[in-house]
Amino acid sequence: MNTATRQNKKRRSESWRKILIILGALFLLLAVSGWLGLRMMVAAQDVTRLDRPLPAETILFDENGHEAVTISLNEIEPITFDQIPKTMIDAIIAVEDRRFYEHRGTDIWGIGRALLQNVTSGRTVQGGSTITQQLAKNVFLSHERSWSRKWNEALLAKKIEERYSKDEIITMYLNQIYFGEGAWGIKRAAEVYYGKPVEQLTPAESALLAGLVKAPSVLSPYKRPEQAVERRNVVLSLMRDQGLIEQEAYDLALQESPKLRESKPDRAEAIHFPYYTDQVIREAVNLYGLTENDVLHGGLRIYTTLNPDMQKAAEQLFQEDALFPESMGDQLIQAGTVLVDPRNGGIKALVGGRGKQPFRGFNRAVQLKRQPGSTMKPIAVYTPALENEFKPDSRIIDEPVRFGSYEPNNVDHTFHGNVSLYEALIHSYNIPAVKLLNEIGIDQGMDASSRFGIPLKAEDRTLGLALGGTNTGVSPLQMAEAYGAFANDGIRMDSHAIVRIESADGTVLASRQEEQGNRVTTSENARMMSAMLQGVVESGSGKAAAIEGRDVAGKTGTTQMPGVSGYGAMDNWFVGYTPQLVGAVWLGYDNPDESNYLTSSSYAAAAVFKELMSNALHGQPSIPFPVVKGMNTRKDQNEEDSERKGNKEKNRKKEKEEKKRNKEKEDERHNKERGRDRDDEEDDEDDEDND
């Protein structure tokens, strides 16, 4: 290498060194400026607001941007540090912040240890934020997921630690944290769950309450007692490992069965549209990473797809006992329903139960998992059949059949011979559906179900799928979303209630992206299915769902109650739609048994659907379904039925006339024979006279 080359290389190296130094200096300047800015912002924050813990109201807006719901179930009844049992403080520290009395607001070692423990245990056992950081976040910060917010949280935690003692911080934390079931603060939680003063909590009860903080809805002992006890035992184990509870007390606490308050306070009246609000909270947690505490406590502004008129109509309908079958046994016949716009998936209304329900109680519109019965036929059988070049007028024999040990039967226990696919669907014949699924292949039915958003498992791969035989079951929301694809020309839109979430200061925390939807079948097949399902309502098993002046398509569904004589069902469904709205209705008992099952007709859900949709669509235009050429319409079916009846009548008349003619011939023959006998007798008499 010559001298000139070495000099050029050296100059380039020096140039790069200068550039890197300049960039480093700029980066350092920006970092310091940012840090100073954050420090100034945090320094300006008045942490004495902690002395007056008032959770901010979260507001839900409807589809038109008007305020619809104010979440303000947050009366706080503060207590002093001396009133809180030591076991309660030990439990919350063990599970949320084991080095609480050692750190000064943040705990780097704790973050690393929590990460390691969560990874090795395969689930979230400990969190990384300290109790002080959680307090700072809940009171002062928006709930965006960003490094800047985490940095603010850490700085605020440090400032809180500088002003307040550890005992004051843990007291403020326990006074304002959300424990689920409408219980803000430890005093309210002790009353709601155990009906006792907080001072009387046992170690086991303290551990259960401490375990609720991370996910109060999911771990509620009223809803999921087994999971709540499992979480309690984790907390007790942490307390033992950290030396906060003796082995003997630990063993006794493990053996203690939760003695919950028999009738917890009903908080549903305190909030408008409780079931819809429940779904909004569920989406915020599951789709956007917020916690239940964030929503209930965070002063958020949540924009939704709610139609308040439809929601009011649905809630009022569920209060009309005369519309529902009479309950038997010791349970109330329950129901769940949902209304969805098939064009964008927006949930317009949602009701998850009848009778008094606690806020954040069991929501049958979305949490229910029951077999869908014959409402699965259009999804798992007839749509894939159309995709395999079957037509509505294709023929299939309804006859006794057996597939190994499986022998399907029709509900009416009769066989209908040579029927069209259209006839088999509108009258909900079971045997043709099973035979058809067997012919196209179970995998085709499994694939179609998956496309329509119905989750299936390997064990669902049976011919029983044709009749809704699934192990997991479905919810009304899942069925409404699936049928929405028929109404939307074969495109399934993900159902949703949330459009956008903002903090109180207008910062957008989450926003739903516009979607094109998922095409699950061709528009031709979707329209053909809609035409066939119109027949169900117009002249088939779903006539109870017909709405005068509107095109309605849909399907009935029933699951039989085993071991009962006569009609008995565990579940009764109707899922249907107009071009602009999809509705799903489920009826049944929460715990069906030999004393609690449906004994009325299979049309009960269809009747509820009719009233639901009629009220929801009141004042809205009647939109017809697209005309499908070559489709066996109601008129065609009626003509076919009339022709079949006419032929039967002609055959009966012909047979009658034939019998009449045969009788006349027989009588004539007999008369002739009697005439010949008389002639013979007269001849004999003449012979005697001659003799």
For residue 104, what are its two tokens?
A: 């000064």
Whether the Cβ atoms of residue 195 and residue 203 lie closer than 8 Å to each other? no
Q: Which residues are CB-neighbours of 358 under 8 A, at least 6 positions away?
A: 181, 182, 222, 264, 266, 267, 268
pLDDT of 142: 45
Whether the Cβ atoms of residue 512 and residue 499 lie closer than 8 Å to each other? yes
pLDDT of 669: 63
Owner of token pair 């069925």? 479
Whether the Cβ atoms of residue 389 and residue 500 lie closer than 8 Å to each other? no
Q: Which residues are CB-neighbours of 180 under 8 A, at least 6 positions away?
A: 212, 216, 217, 219, 220, 292, 360
Is residue 96 part of the annotated active site? The answer reads yes
Q: Which residues are CB-neighbours of 93 under 8 A, at least 6 positions away?
A: 100, 101, 131, 170, 244
Q: Please provide the average confidence, as pLDDT, over all residues in the chain.
A: 83
pLDDT of 25: 60
Q: Which of 443, 438, 445 is nearest to 376 (CA)?
A: 445
Q: What is the pLDDT of residues 529-556, one digit of tens each?
A: 999 999 999 999 999 999 999 999 999 9
Q: Which residues are CB-neighbours of 623 under 8 A, at least 6 positions away?
A: 551, 578, 579, 580
Give me the catalytic one of 374, 530, 539, 602: 374
Whether the Cβ atoms of residue 193 and residue 261 lie closer than 8 Å to each other? yes
CB atoms within 10 A of CB 36: 10
Q: What is the pLDDT of residues 93-144, one digit of tens each?
A: 999 999 899 888 786 665 555 555 545 555 444 446 888 888 887 666 444 4
**What is the architecture, at CATH level 2, of domain 347-619?**
3-Layer(aba) Sandwich (3.40)
Give me the catalytic one of 96, 181, 283, 538: 96
Domain residue limits, the chain? 74-266, 347-619
Helix (H) or strand (E) segment spanning residue 73: none
Q: What is the pLDDT of residues 22-32, one digit of tens each?
A: 666 666 555 54
For residue 622, what are its two tokens?
A: 């009647």
Whether the Cβ atoms of residue 351 and residue 314 lie closer than 8 Å to each other? yes
Whether the Cβ atoms of residue 185 and residue 193 lie closer than 8 Å to each other? no
Is residue 524 part of the annotated active site? The answer reads no
Give the angle subtended at the CA of 422 by the CAs of 420 and 426, to the nearest 5°.
125
Q: Which of 359, 367, 355 is nearest to 181 (CA)?
A: 359
Q: Which residues are CB-neighbours of 387 under 8 A, at least 6 positions away?
A: 444, 448, 521, 522, 525
- pTM value is 0.68
pLDDT of 562: 84
In this structure, the strands spanning 301-304 and 581-588 are unpaired
CATH number among 1.10.3720.10, 3.20.20.70, 1.10.260.40, 1.10.3810.10, domain 74-266 = 1.10.3810.10
The low-confidence residues of the chain, meaning pLDDT below 70, are 1-13, 15-56, 73-76, 107-128, 138-152, 263-270, 601, 630, 632-691
Q: Work out the burial of residue 316: count CB atoms within 10 Å of its CB; fewer than 13 is exposed, 13-18 middle, 19 or more buried.
A: exposed
pLDDT of 499: 97
